[in-house]
């Protein structure tokens, strides 16, 4: 799985950070210390970590991921990463 999206709400830029969806690599999610949960009203699960996005980006860089792009969507910040 070479591509990864992470995101956070602008008002929560100190964490938590969403690091994957229900189909993400369980091993990578374990390395990041992520827990899987389903938010009330959603019919899908997401992996969360309590770390700030900067901390998550540092961890992912050490695992070979590089930021491809970053954007703001409404009140959400989203980073797209890729690993060769």
Q: What does pLDDT average to in each consecutive run of 10 residues of the chain (84 residues)?
A: 86 82 94 92 92 94 96 92 92
Confidence (pLDDT) at 12: 62
For the chain, which domains are there?
A: 3-82 (3.30.1410.10)
Please state, in angstroms and rounded to a whole number, the distance separating the CA atoms of residues 77 and 10. Answer: 6
Confidence (pLDDT) at 23: 92
Confidence (pLDDT) at 42: 85
Phi/psi at 11 (5° precision): -75, -5
Confidence (pLDDT) at 80: 96
Q: How many helices (H) and strands (E) does the chain have?
A: 2, 6
Question: Helix, strand, coil proportions of the chain in percent (round to 5)?
Answer: 25, 45, 35
Confidence (pLDDT) at 1: 61
């Amino acid at each position: 799985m070479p591509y990864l999206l992470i995101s956070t709400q602008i008002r929560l830029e100190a964490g938590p950070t969403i690091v994957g969806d229900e189909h993400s690599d369980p091993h990578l999610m374990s390395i990041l210390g992520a827990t899987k949960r389903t938010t009330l009203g959603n019919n899908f699960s997401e992996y969360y970590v309590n770390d700030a996005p900067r901390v998550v980006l540092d961890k992912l860089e050490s695992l070979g991921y590089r930021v491809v792009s970053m954007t703001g969507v409404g009140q959400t910040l989203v980073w797209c990463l890729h690993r060769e």
